[in-house]
Chains A and B, each alone.
Chain A
């Protein structure tokens, strides 16, 4: 065996280690590590309310979402029954309007806050965080407003 191929723990360049005592390799630092410069408390209850909201909206969503799925997909012939007439018939009643409105708002805010948590967990750079959250909030506001508009302005006689 030649000397070049047998030396242990060598770097990639021609059998000579790239690193030594005076020139150590870079270590891999964990994302966003805490230092003494980490900002101190902001004194708001936002995260507390967010946490509570996830649990409270979750409880209500169990009823709303499971009920919704049952009515739309299981009872009365399943999906095949859903059409313009079915939707028009249901939204004629304020009860189902309220059901769908509450479900829309709760599910969207619940899902958006959940994704905010996911972004906080996984986005490492402040810029990435900023843009992902912007995208998330824009999409959420758009969907919530559009859905609300449709529920309130739905016209069964449109043709």
Chain B
């Protein structure tokens, strides 16, 4: 148990801090979680959990507390707990975020905090969705280096400027926060979605890569970049601060300038 949550709880005496005490960091927070368990019911329902928690903790810590202390059936994904594996994207107070990067104090803990699965993908249980369609779109843009000719005997060198060209899109952790915030994707899962385009951008603008033309052709199709309506939901959602809409726009521009 490496979480700081438990240490703090021991020091101050579990459950002891009273809401009125100004020097106690603990406050009472209600988490309203959208539960779904196909083995019990076909309907999802909201369930409230109350807990005493330091508002400087993260939503992930609260989910852990609920799962470990209150209801072991609560189901969610997390791995690294530090914003790098991309497994705990969820819809918190109506906005897609990583539970492990969202501090409770930053999202108004005085009202119930809603937590639900990301939208546009099949909910399998509680906060867990089927990520297959998401990764299928990722695979379909060929997110790997494509080159012609013989392999060089040394590293493929690149200038600092050339590296800078696609730096922003290298930061993606494939959390799906952007794709599952996109209204076009909600209505039609055939759309590649922002994350796939971001990862195509990563290679299209890499000077060492020679598969850009192929990727542009894929994204030029009816389910590609032209379906983007520039709503900026993806840019707002990205926990890595990637300018997602801008990346999509750059791919559109590359397609147009390639023709004229």
Contact = CB atoms under 8 A, between A and B. Distances in A.
A36 interface: yes
A122 B187 contact: yes
A66 interface: no
Contact of B187 (A19, A38, A121): A121
Interface residue tally of chain A, by bracket?
A: 35 or more
A32 to B, nearest CB: 5
A25 interface: yes
Contact of A19 (B41, B120, B140, B252): B41
A34 B195 CA distance: 14
Interface in A1-32: 9-11, 17-21, 24-32
A58 interface: no
A71 interface: no
A45 B188 contact: no
A31 B188 contact: yes
A73 interface: no
A33 interface: yes
A52 B217 CA distance: 17
A86 B17 CA distance: 82
A41 B221 contact: yes
Given A41-B218, A47-B224, A28 B122 contact: yes
A121 B121 CA distance: 16
Contacts of A128: none
B251 to A, nearest CB: 11
Nearest to B222: A47
Given A33-B133, A33-B189, A51 B226 contact: yes
Nearest to A51: B226
Contacts of A27: 38, 122-124, 130
A38 B140 contact: yes
B114 interface: no
A47 B39 contact: no
Contacts of A36: 136, 139
Contact of A121 (B188, B192, B252): B188
Contacts of A9: 37, 40-41
A50 interface: yes
Interface of A: 9-11, 17-21, 24-36, 38, 40-43, 45-48, 50-52, 120-122
Given A35-B133, A38-B223, A48-B256, 11 more contacts: A9-B37, A10-B41, A27-B130, A29-B122, A31-B189, A32-B188, A33-B190, A41-B220, A48-B255, A51-B226, A122-B187
Which 7 pairs across A and B sit closest by C-beta, in order of nearness? A25-B42, A24-B38, A33-B189, A47-B226, A25-B38, A9-B40, A33-B133
